[in-house]
């Protein structure tokens, strides 16, 4: 709870500072644009957070976006499949990749970093190959609901943000109020103790990868219809790292067992506000990554120092 | 007392809210083995941390060979000739023996490349290993050594630093019986060579065997000391707890319903060629004795399903059970209190409440959502009935003492409906007072009709607590003794695989 509050205060301070320096920050267009981006990035970041809570990692997310986009474009544009057939197929297919990662990690016992790093390389390669390394378009036809997912603005609120709120609510209940959520945290902190308490740890771990890919698939559909064009070689590049950054900023520990859904969403928002800040304050956009990296670094460093101080105080009391 | 090697004079140490040590004095003569005993929280570790420079005393002074000294770090202590052997070994198992001995103070040559003088560390390590009678090459990687041998390497390291006083903190806690005997022998040799030793242990047997003098701490104060001739279990326990502990072990009113829990032809992954068969009555405590590595923990884990058995049948109350995972056992009411509670028993970073309700969580949930009030009530009820000392159920388990942590493990299972409870080394690292409480709990459970299996490597405990004792050797049960047949000699000879003596 403390961690979320800290980063939330940071987010508010940043927003206030930017809006004083450049009132354009508060313009409806800018806010809508930011909300849309927070929505798109937030959905899969929550999924990544779930994997990180089990002390795993998923590096393949960005490449999955590319592969998913290319396949969707081919299904819808080249083969003319109806969207209501292609979409469930795509989501199930992406979840199957998550299941594969989960089996490799939980049953075979490979390291999550390695498994998903291979995924990152393989899916990117396959995406480039089947698209002939060309950019494919999507969204020229009538895709009704799908297009609306990315572009509709009910009551002026961008649809991706609405979806994020729904996903956040569902995932919050799942992680912080359900039996499954408690198991996730227990497995992430101490897999042995969880197993000795009768928890099917393998299934819990594998399911986290499936869940992550399910949310990735939803994000992916929105990204695809947001840009309308997919280049296999760079679509979704680095997106897994944005997700990991958001989760870590939001209080997840890469050692597992720690983190919260709200924290991850605030973390995502912070990253997007930072991007916006670089644009609005006229900072050279090539510094984009450097600004992001610095903020994450300082945030995590501050947290580390506070934790150590608290621990020192406790050990004196003993 | 001017010829004492080490003298601590009225050391007082206060922490916010508590006085950990109240004018404690301790003297060690050259070539003397002093055992330091006391319940957990009596101040032993604080005293040793002051010697190691981790804490500074608020009052009092430290004298070495009559000269007053200040110790601000472990390095200071080492310079003054004090070596430490901790409960958890401080060795690097990816390096070899010699590299471990000289870690951090390697002799160098070839300035400015700062290369390690390898011939020298190997030859010097060799001398110290020989002095300890440890028959391994200094080139052996640590990971190829047993725990006992690794500990010897630590002692060799202390000697190579010219330690005149070696402090051993619970050195036998992970050693087998024979290894412990070797350690005690080494201590006698070191004493002959003029090295002094402070031996901290909960195992009174060992203290009795090796100590020249016993110093007892209670509640941060000197409770007294015992000279060689006065050392006995009774006298030590009396001094530690300040009262007699005659009722440490409680006997039951007898077993009911024989063959309540039956294991037939059980084979485990660790000893696939041996079969284990035994049966247990309602309300009975069956002790499992044997040496470390006899396959007792593996048997427990097979029965509990975390390491599924290769073969065999398990029946409870006449009904056969299929146990493929821990959840199968839990559903049948068979629970395990594991040997290593911090690794397998508890998620220590989680709260008491979350730990207590972990195995039965779905019982206090509807549609997969936890009913928080009910969960909280369950935890509070268990904490109260087991008298777990914790500020609240929301405290994290890692902040509790060993005895209270063990009670939390027990609370996990008592919140459900135990029919068979398997305790694996239930009192390891727990002080005398808490031990007695655990024994009483086990007996109460048995009286309420739970069948209890207790694996223990402490001879006193097995004999004191059990109604019957099964002894294991290399994966097989070599004998089952009734209460009238209990004796240390019988158990030992069965444990090493010899035929029982009449």
Separation in Å, CA of B497 to nearest CA in chain A: 31
* Residue B17 contacts A, CB cutoff 8 Å: yes
Q: Check CB contact of B368 with chain A, cutoff 8 Å.
A: yes
Nearest by CB to A177, from B326, B329, B369: name it: B369
Domain that holds residue A203: 43-262
Q: With beta carbons less than 8 A apart as the criterion, state whether A196 and B342 touch.
A: no
Task: Report how far residue B281's alpha carbon sits from residue B254's, in angstroms, rounded to the nearest whole number.
Answer: 9
* Token reading at B320: 């056969």
Q: Which residue has the tokens 């050195």?
A: B171
Size of interface A-B (CB pairs under 8 A): 77
CB atoms B15 and A317 under 8 Å = yes
Rounded Cα distance between B158 and B179, Å, is: 19
Q: Does any domain span residue A169?
A: yes
Where do we find the tokens 């929301």? B394
- Looking at the domain assignment, is residue A269 inside a domain? no
CB atoms within 10 A of CB B447: 13
Task: Tell me if A274 is assigned to some domain.
Answer: no
> What ipTM score was computed for the predicted complex, to two decimals?
0.89
Separation of alpha carbons B236 and B227, rounded Å: 11
In whole angstroms, give the CA distance from residue A283 to residue B72: 51
* Residue A301 resides in a domain: no
Residue A196, chain B, CB below 8 Å: the answer is yes
10 Å Cβ neighbour count for B427?
Answer: 24
Q: Which residue of B has its CA nearest to A189?
A: B347
**Interface membership of B336 toward A (CB under 8 Å):** yes
Which of chain A's residues have a Cβ under 8 Å away from the Cβ of B361? 179, 182-183
Q: What residue spans define the domains of chain B?
A: 6-244, 340-416
Of B15, B338, B362, the CB nearest to A196: B338
- The SS3 of residue B475 is coil
Rounded CA gap, B380 and B402, in Å?
Answer: 19
Domain assignment present for A11: no
Closest by CA to A171, choosing from A113, A215, A130, A233, is A215
Taking a C-beta distance cutoff of 8 angstroms, is the pair A230, A73 a contact? yes
Contact: A314, B348; criterion CB under 8 Å: no
Distance from CA of A187 to the nearest CA of B (A): 9
User: Dihedral through CA B119, CA B124, CA B130, CA B132, nearest 10?
Assistant: -140
**Residue A318 with chain B: CB contacts under 8 Å:** 15
Inter-chain residue contact B369 with A173, CB threshold 8 Å: yes
CB contact under 8 A, A179 and B368: yes
Q: Give the count of domains, chain A.
A: 1
Q: What is the pLDDT along chain B (502 residues), one digit of tens a residue?
A: 457 899 999 999 987 767 789 999 999 999 999 999 987 668 888 898 899 888 899 999 999 988 999 999 888 998 899 999 887 788 888 999 999 999 888 888 888 888 899 999 999 999 999 888 888 999 999 999 888 889 999 999 998 888 999 999 888 877 777 888 889 999 999 999 999 999 998 788 889 999 999 999 988 889 899 999 899 888 888 888 775 555 677 777 766 788 899 999 999 988 888 999 999 999 999 999 987 778 899 999 999 999 989 999 999 999 999 999 999 999 999 999 999 898 999 999 999 999 999 999 999 999 999 999 999 999 999 999 999 988 899 999 988 888 899 999 999 999 999 999 999 999 887 777 788 889 999 999 999 999 999 999 888 889 999 999 999 988 899 999 999 999 888 888 888 776 554 4
Total-model pTM: 0.82
Residue A188 lies in a domain: yes
- Taking CB atoms and an 8 Å cutoff, what residues of chain A touch B330? 198
Q: Is A202 on the interface with B (CB under 8 A)?
A: no
Min Cα–Cα distance to chain A from B196, Å? 30
A257 touches chain B (CB under 8 A): yes
| Min Cα–Cα distance to chain A from B332, Å | 12
Nearest-Cα distance to chain B for A47, in Å, is 19
- Best mutation target, A182, A198, A312, to test chain B (most B CBs within 10 A): A198
Q: Of B17, B348, B370, which is closest to A182 when you measure between CB atoms?
A: B370
May I ask the CATH class of domain B6-244?
Answer: alpha beta
CB atoms within 10 A of CB B253: 9
Best residue in B43, B341, B349, B374 to probe A by mutation, most A CBs within 10 Å?
A: B349
Asked if B370 and A200 come within 8 Å (Cβ–Cβ), the reply is no
Which structure tokens are listed for B149? Answer: 């041998």
Residues of chain B contacting A173 with CB distance shorter than 8 Å? 369
Contact B347 A198 (CB under 8 A): no
Q: Give the count of alpha carbons within 13 A of B458, CB side only.
A: 21
Q: Give dist(CA A14, CA A261) in Å, integer.
A: 21
Biggest CA pair distance of chain A: 69
Residue A138: inside a domain, yes or no? yes
């Amino acid at each position: 709870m403390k961690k979320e509050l800290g980063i939330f205060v940071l987010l508010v301070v940043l927003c206030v500072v930017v809006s004083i320096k450049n009132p354009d920050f508060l313009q409806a267009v800018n806010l809508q644009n930011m909300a849309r981006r927070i929505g798109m990035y937030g959905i899969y970041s929550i999924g990544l957070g779930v994997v990180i809570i089990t002390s795993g990692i998923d590096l393949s997310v960005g490449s999955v976006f590319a592969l998913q986009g290319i396949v969707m474009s081919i299904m819808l544009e080249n083969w003319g499949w109806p969207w209501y057939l292609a979409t469930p197929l795509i989501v199930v297919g992406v979840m199957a990749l998550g299941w594969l990662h989960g089996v490799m990690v939980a049953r075979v016992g490979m390291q999550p970093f390695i498994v998903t790093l291979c995924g990152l390389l393989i899916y990117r390669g396959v995406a480039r190959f089947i698209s002939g390394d060309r950019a494919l378009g999507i969204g020229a036809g009538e895709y009704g609901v799908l297009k609306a997912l990315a572009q509709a603005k009910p009551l002026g609120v961008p649809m991706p943000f609405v979806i994020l709120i729904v996903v956040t609510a569902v995932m919050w209940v799942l992680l912080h109020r359900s039996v499954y959520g408690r198991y996730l945290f227990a497995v992430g902190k101490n897999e042995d103790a969880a197993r000795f308490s009768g928890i099917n740890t393998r299934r819990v771990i594998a399911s986290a990868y499936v869940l992550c890919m399910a949310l990735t698939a939803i994000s992916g559909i929105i990204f695809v219809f947001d840009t309308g064009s997919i280049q296999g070689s760079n679509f979704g590049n680095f997106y897994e790292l944005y997700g990991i950054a958001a989760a870590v900023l939001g209080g997840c520990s890469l050692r597992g067992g720690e983190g919260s859904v709200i924290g991850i969403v605030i973390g995502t928002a912070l990253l997007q506000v930072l991007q916006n800040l670089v644009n609005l304050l006229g900072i050279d956009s090539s510094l984009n990554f450097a600004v992001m990296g610095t903020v994450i670094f300082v945030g995590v460093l501050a947290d580390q120092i506070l934790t150590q101080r608290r621990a020192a105080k406790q050990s004196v009391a003993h | 007392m001017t010829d004492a090697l080490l003298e601590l004079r009225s050391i007082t140490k206060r922490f916010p809210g508590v006085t950990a040590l109240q004018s404690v004095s301790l003297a060690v003569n050259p070539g003397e083995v002093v055992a330091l005993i006391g319940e957990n929280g009596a101040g032993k570790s604080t005293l040793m941390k002051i010697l190691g420079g981790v804490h500074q005393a608020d009052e009092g002074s430290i004298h070495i060979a009559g000269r007053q000294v200040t110790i601000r770090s472990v390095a200071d202590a080492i310079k003054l000739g004090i070596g430490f052997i901790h409960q958890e070994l401080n060795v690097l198992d990816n390096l070899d023996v010699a590299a471990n001995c000289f870690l951090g103070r390697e002799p160098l040559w070839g300035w400015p490349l700062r290369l390690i003088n390898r011939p020298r560390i190997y030859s010097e390590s060799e001398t110290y290993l020989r002095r300890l009678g440890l028959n391994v090459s200094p080139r052996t990687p640590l990971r190829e050594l047993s725990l006992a041998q690794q500990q010897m390497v630590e002692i060799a390291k202390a000697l190579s630093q010219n330690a005149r006083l070696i402090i051993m903190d619970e050195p036998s806690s992970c050693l087998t019986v024979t290894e412990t005997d070797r350690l005690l022998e080494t201590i006698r040799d070191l004493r002959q060579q003029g090295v002094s030793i402070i031996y901290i242990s909960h195992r009174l047997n060992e203290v009795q065997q090796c100590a020249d003098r016993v110093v007892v701490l209670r509640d941060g104060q000197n409770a007294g000391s015992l000279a060689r001739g006065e050392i006995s279990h009774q006298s030590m326990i009396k001094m530690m707890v300040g009262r007699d502990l005659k009722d440490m072990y409680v006997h039951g009113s007898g077993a009911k319903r024989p063959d309540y829990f039956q294991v037939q032809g059980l084979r485990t992954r660790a000893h696939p060629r041996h079969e284990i068969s035994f049966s247990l009555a309602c309300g009975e405590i069956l002790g499992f004795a044997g040496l470390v590595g006899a396959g007792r923990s593996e048997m427990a884990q097979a029965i509990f399903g975390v390491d599924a058995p290769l073969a065999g049948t398990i029946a409870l109350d006449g009904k056969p059970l299929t146990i493929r995972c821990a959840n199968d056992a839990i559903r049948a009411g068979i629970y395990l209190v594991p040997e290593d509670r911090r690794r397998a028993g508890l998620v220590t970073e989680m709260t008491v409440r979350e730990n207590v309700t972990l195995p039965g969580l779905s019982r206090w949930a509807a549609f997969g959502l936890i009913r928080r009030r009910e969960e909280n009530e369950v935890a509070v009820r268990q904490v109260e009935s087991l008298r777990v000392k914790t500020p609240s159920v929301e405290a994290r388990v890692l902040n509790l003492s060993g005895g209270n942590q063990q009670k939390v493990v027990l609370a996990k299972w008592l919140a459900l409906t135990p029919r068979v409870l398997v305790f694996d080394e239930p009192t390891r690292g727990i002080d005398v007072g808490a031990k007695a409480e655990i024994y009483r709990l086990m007996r109460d459970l048995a009286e309420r009709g739970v069948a209890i299996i207790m694996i223990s490597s402490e001879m006193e405990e097995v004999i004191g607590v059990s109604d019957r004792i099964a002894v294991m050797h290399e994966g097989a049960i070599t004998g089952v003794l009734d209460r009238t047949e209990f004796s240390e000699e019988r158990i030992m000879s069965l444990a090493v695989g010899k035929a029982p003596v009449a």
